[in-house]
Amino acid sequence: MSQKQSLFVLTLFMVSLAANSQVRIVTELSKGWKFEKGQNDQAYQVEFNDKNWENVSVPHDWAIYGPFDKEIDKQTVAIVQNGEEIPTEKTGRTGSLPYIGQGWYRNQFALPDYSPGQKVMIVFEGAMSEPRVFINGKKVGEWNFGYNYFYFDITEHIEAGKKNLLAVQLSNRGLSSRWYPGAGLYRKVQIVVKDQVSIDQWGTYITTPFISSELAKVNIKTKVSGQDARLVTSIINSEGETVATQSSDMPYGKEFDQNLAVDNPKLWSPETPYLYKAVTKLYVGNDLKDETTTRFGIREISYTAAKGFSLNGEVRKFKGVCLHHDLGPLGAAINVAALRRQLRILKDMGCDAIRSSHNMPSIEQLELCDEMGFMFLAESFDEWAKPKVKNGYNRFFNTDSEKDIVNLVHATRNHPSIVMWSSGNEVPDQYGAEGVKRAKWLQEIFHREDPTRPVTVGMDQVKATMASGFGALLDVPGLNYRTHLYEDAYKSFPQGFILGSETASTVSSRGVYKFPVVKGIEKTYADNQSSSYDLEYCSWSNLPEDDFIFEDDKPWVIGQFVWTGFDYLGEPTPYDNFWPSRSSYFGINDLAGLPKDRFYLYRSKWNKKDETLHILPHWNWEGREGQTTPVFVYTNYDSAELFINGKSMGVQKKNSSSPQSRYRLMWMDVKYEPGTLKVIAYDKEGNAAAEKSVITAGKPSKLVLEADRTELDADGRDMSFITVSVVDEKGNPCETANNQLTFSVSGNGTYRAACNGDATSLEQFHLPTMKLFNGKLVVLVQSGNKAGPIKLSVKGSKLKSAELALRAR
């Protein structure tokens, strides 16, 4: 099978222009919201008294403020996809946060530029979950899937010249998720006012069916409402230059079909994420009726048995990670600064692809992936008709799945970052003829709505899909783990390639090291932590090297998506029957976004530009003197020499004696003695190329604050993520310090949250105090709405306090 295409976008942000007045007005409803959790049957009515309700801004997640409680959504279940057969009590599976229940949001909004006769739309980019929407006391619509984008025409319910009341009812059931789903209006809500003669919502579809070094053909299909209209589209490059224009006055039915030529096109890729924009204007006569701007990229994708995956004619393999939708201490509420920070960290690791797991991505995430250069596997469902959890998406699959896919595709198809769709993840429907029919039906819906991209499913029941034909019908056969079946699947499936749609599931806790150092399957300890020697994994999964070997040795493996790029709330495997434990251990980075040791293993393999030289463990082991304490080095160099207090422990060279020896340098017989651990890495000619040391620290003395950004936008949303660490009097990191800290913020900003990355911590993120976890934590400071200085102060018992100056601008 071969699919070649190029493409498109960064979002339909709808902008308005017209000489002196806007023809389309988009208002984001972020402020002025009132919220209450609980049953209020009359809350949609205009006269309802919400005076005592909480004032919130949207995006908003009502559950992230806690408290953590093991009784919340306690599930007695056998997790079939993990190979469990006997039900056991699971605590923390959905994060132990109070997402269950009903919530109401109310907002009174004015439309000062609205004139009777115009069209008014309300657009939601996600609402968790089962939203029911009311305008001025009248129900205007409802949706079921909490991850989907949807909109309603509310024109007939709008009252001109006065404030209109929007009320949204949300209902979250227990036993409805396998991870922390969040709660509330956690993504944008917008009001769109436009002319009756206008461009439809998500009505622009941009593809690039032909690309050469000299020319790219850009096809733009635009659906409109209204008769006798004329469409003028201009393509503008990143420098602001108009490179093509076309005027059309003959639509096919209600759709214009334009083809524009771009000379000497600049192609989009992770390395060069170049973006164009299409400005589309709709006229009746000489009157401008509507205008939209759509960002897109020019790029070509191909999946063939002969070459695997190609981007712009170059064969490459996905170096991807899976990401859940929560943002750690912010919960499910979307924040661009938090998303951008995640992507910067992943970019530094050498990651070039994201899989949204197991949900439809936010528009903001796709926009950033377009801008920063990440390929994207956009996923739709975690369940089809057969349930994984009692109250999951299975309740809606038969009635809603087609319209949910249509909205997913229409809302996001212009993003050049999206190179593949996924119609499901580890669905129980993998077994039997009914599952094959469902897989084919869903894939055909994707093909109908977007013929340019292939479709995959994350399959964990590989033998079943080989026997039934399920895997053979997919455009891209995606295997979740099951590396021992890769060869069989490759021979069985006709596509000629395999995607590691979900890989590794190695578990670790940042800064925690367990002895003796051996491989461990489902290994647990009394402290509910996993060892950061990166040798522990789950019964169904494997270590990173198993996937690296397929990546390196098998041309028919087109890459992988590691589970996961960051820890996430919920699914605390292997401690899901233990308490306390309320977030995952799978992350390459912890819940605070701090890199674990495993980050540097992937970086040494994936980041081809920058030097990597990382030593583990820390070297503070009072009481282990003389005991075996192995030392690992993750580096992009092939060999290195280890020294303890100046004495050589020998040179290690990467070799093929074991999967780990091929990618790690390991000194297994080192005996601990306090002092200096130093490593010198050698290049291929045997010359010393890099050096790093780890020193036994003294007593914790002072705090060190390091911000990812010190200049913030004064928009009330922007954030700085400040890493707080402890050093001794000489400045050496104290990597075992667990002091309790307190935080305060003054000036033109506020304290937002803190996170230490400890999956067992029950401290609430939004309270201004938290313990360090193995010497570090992260504080989130949010900008105010006015420009000016911001100051963060951090204090800790028996530690010199620290301050950091930021600025909102």
For 5-35, the pLDDT digits (tens) are 433 332 323 333 333 357 999 999 999 999 9
**Residue 662 tokens, joined:** 């091929």
CATH number of 25-63+99-194: 2.60.120.260
- Over residues 483-502, the pLDDT tens digits come to 999 999 999 999 999 999 99
User: What does the chain come to in residues?
Assistant: 809
Q: Where in the chain is the domain with CATH 2.60.40.10?
A: 9-24+197-296, 702-808
DSSP 395: G
Domain 702-808 has CATH 3.40.50.2300: no
Percent of the chain with pLDDT strictly greater than 70: 97
- What is the arithmetic mean of pLDDT over 311-330? 98
Q: Which of 426, 536, 545, 551 is catalytic?
A: 426
pLDDT score of 401 = 98
Q: Strands (DSSP E) along 297-411, which ranges?
A: 301-304, 308-311, 314-315, 318-323, 353-356, 375-379
Determine the longest span between alpha carbons in the chain, in angstroms: 88
Strand ranges in 237-307 using DSSP code E only, listed in sequence order: 242-248, 255-263, 276-284, 287-296, 301-304
The residue annotated as part of the active site, out of 36, 291, 364, 502, is: 502
Q: Residue 212 and residue 234: Cα distance in Å, rounded?
A: 20
d(CA 108, CA 53): 14
Separation between Cα atoms, residue 458 and residue 481, nearest integer Å: 9
User: Cα–Cα distance between 276 and 278 in angstroms, integer?
Assistant: 7
Alpha-carbon distance of 50 to 52, in angstroms, equals 6
Active-site residue 71, yes or no?
no
- Cite the residue boundaries of each domain of the chain with CATH code 2.60.120.260: 25-63+99-194
- What stretch(es) of the chain map to CATH 3.20.20.80? 306-505+540-577
pLDDT single digits (tens) 595-625: 999 999 999 999 999 999 999 999 999 999 9
| pLDDT attached to residue 574 | 96
Question: What is the average per-residue pLDDT within 154-179?
Answer: 96
Predicted confidence (pLDDT) at residue 513 exceeds the cutoff of 80? yes
Band of residue 83 on the pLDDT scale cut at 50, 70, 90: confident
Query: From the centroid of its chain, how far is CA 805?
Result: 30
Residue found under tokens 């690309």 = 211
CATH fold group of domain 9-24+197-296: Immunoglobulin-like (2.60.40)
Write down the pLDDT at residue 673: 98
CA distances from 172 to 45, 96, 104, 131, 161 (A): 22, 14, 12, 10, 36
Nearest alpha carbon to residue 317 among 500, 483, 146: 500
CB 211 within 8 A of CB 228: no
Give 397: exposed, middle or buried? Use CB within 10 Å, 0-12, 13-18, 19+.
buried
Asked if 239 is an active-site residue, the reply is no
- Predicted confidence at residue 503, as pLDDT, reads 98
pLDDT tens, residue by residue, 54-76: 999 999 999 999 999 999 999 88
Q: Give the pLDDT score at 86.
A: 82
Q: Which amino acid is at 343?
A: L
pLDDT at 479 over 60: yes
pLDDT tens digit string along 566-592?
A: 999 999 999 999 999 999 999 999 999
Sign of the C-alpha dihedral computed for residues 615, 616, 622 and 627 taken in this order: negative
In this structure, CATH architecture of domain 306-505+540-577: Alpha-Beta Barrel (3.20)
**How is 785-799 classified by DSSP, letter by letter?**
SS-EEEEEEEEETTS
pLDDT at residue 85 greater than cutoff 80: no
Residues 6 or more apart whose Cβ sits within 8 Å of residue 482: 460, 462, 489, 540
pLDDT of residue 454: 98
Q: What is the pLDDT of residue 658?
A: 96
Which range in 84-88, 115-119, 631-635 is most confidently predicted, on average pLDDT?
631-635
Q: Report pLDDT digits (tens) over 693-742.
A: 999 999 999 999 999 999 999 999 999 999 999 999 999 999 999 999 99
Encode burial over 653-686: b for 16+ CB neighbours within 10 A, e otherwise: ebeeeebbeebbbbbeebebbbeebbbbbbeeee
Q: What is the pLDDT of residues 624-672, one digit of tens each?
A: 999 999 999 999 999 999 999 999 999 999 999 999 999 999 999 999 9
Give percent of the chain above pLDDT 90: 93
pLDDT tens digits, one per residue of 235-251: 999 999 999 999 999 89
Q: What is the pTM of this model?
A: 0.95
Mean pLDDT for the chain overall: 95
